[in-house]
Copies of this chain bind each other. A is one copy, B any other.
Amino acid sequence: MAGTDAQSGRAWPPTPDFDTWPVEHLPAGATTDGRIVTVAWDDGRVSRYHAIWLRDNATEPGTHSPVTREQVGHPWDLPADLAVSAVAVAENGSIEITFAPECRTVAYHPGWLRALDYSNGRHDDLGDIAPTHWDSRRLAAPPTFDGPACMDRDGALLEALEALMEFGIVRLRGVPTDETEVQRVAERIGTIRNSNFGFLFDVKTAPADSRKAADSNAYFSGALAPHTDLATREYEPGLQLLHCLVNTTRGGRAVYVDGFAVADRIRQTDPDLWRAVTQIEWTFSNRSPATDYRWRAPLVVLDKNGDPREIRATTFLRGPLNVDFDDVEAAYAGLRAFQTLAAGEGFAMTFDYAPGDLVAFDNRRVLHGRTAFDEAIGERALKGCYMEREEVLSRIRILRRAKRANRAA
């Protein structure tokens, strides 16, 4: 944003976004050959920028709306012979670039230009948080945070969300046990993902008279093997929140597993099983009178680098396997290996839900399940909702942006 730098007292040109860009280095000089602008910084670093890149990111009203910060100009409408005709470092350290044949001069914020330098390797523009894989020895319980503090203080929330992205799971404690509190927590992060199970859903034993219409095994009291939810969809929900309201029954312990760690183990130990879990596609299929969701995917979906991108393990929503005849037994062997590891003590983290606990987890990475419980001797009620990981990432960026702005002020 345009503004005056608190420390230097300098007035900077605007940037094409809402962020704060500290000026830690100033340009010592700048030159151009028409196609590329070369900036020499006061610490010796040299950065190079293409004319088309600079022009596309110009902060003048014909290119970026000063209100929405969205692009209003189109780079494909720019002259094909676009070039830089002049470049100068202004007294305050801004870099002024003149474009031909337009004869348009645009000033660039030096902090922004330095941070976005792509000529010395790519910079981290997504704010990526690398996952730390875990088994039950490395992580015996979810990273745990104070619920009310996360609602009140941005710093507390940021810490919890960063842990969520790293480990795929966090637990908030002391979240008020109101029916809609999970929605308040979710919306402190971002938008809730609706589904045919409702905007919020209940995980509790359905009253006996409604059993006949129950549309998920989750509504009974049996054990649930570790699984991901909604592998039947093109896009499995990226995030799930489960908030414990009541727990006076016996059993019903929470079970969580890092599916990426299970996948790693298979990759390291058995190439045939690895092929089976990553290449043979199950047909996931829901079976209700009113909906019929289906999707085909392997248990472990790989990214373009061959690493696990998501786990598709809604194993009780498998339709009949529909693959090459010779792959059938291999598919079942892969499923058996994956689920046996996932449910075993080496990988599964197990704990009791206390009322007020809210567990948030990456549903494309962390499997969840429960031990059976005795519905005759008490009550057990969780309230849940789905979200997307992109909501967490957006909130993290906003909280980090505010932190940078506070530091700069």
Contacts and interface: CB of A to CB of B under 8 A. Distances in A.
A118 B323 contact: yes
B293 A336 contact: no
B390 A293 contact: yes
Contacts of A118: 320-323, 325, 328
A233 to B, nearest CB: 5
A225 interface: yes
Interface stretch (A164-172, A193-201, A258-266): A193-201
A397 interface: yes
Contacts of A287: 16-18, 68-70
A116 interface: yes
A325 B67 contact: no
Given A16-B287, A394-B291, A320 B57 contact: yes
A198 to B, nearest CB: 9
| SS of A interface (majority) | loop
Nearest to A123: B322
Contact of A70 (B52, B296, B316, B335): B316
A170 to B, nearest CB: 20
A138 interface: no
Contacts of A238: 234
A381 interface: no
A391 to B, nearest CB: 9
A323 B317 CA distance: 40
A222 B235 CA distance: 34
Given A192-B194, A288-B18, A71 B388 contact: no
A98 to B, nearest CB: 20
A102 interface: no
B74 A315 contact: yes
A390 B234 contact: yes
Contacts of A322: 116, 118, 122-123, 125
Nearest to A387: B194
A119 interface: yes
Interface string A320-349: 111111001100100110011000000000
B119 A325 contact: yes
A393 B235 CA distance: 13
A225 B67 CA distance: 19
Contacts of A57: 320
A338 to B, nearest CB: 8
A203 B173 CA distance: 41
A295 B328 contact: no
Interface stretch (A25-33, A141-149, A212-220, A243-251): A212-220
A288 B123 CA distance: 21
Contact of A292 (B50, B293, B397): B397
B398 A292 contact: yes
A318 interface: yes
A96 to B, nearest CB: 19
Interface in A284-299: 285, 287-296
Interface string A357-401: 000000000000000000000000000000011100110011001
A75 interface: yes
Residue from the set A122, A216, A388, A394 with the largest chain B CB neighbour count within 10 Å: A394
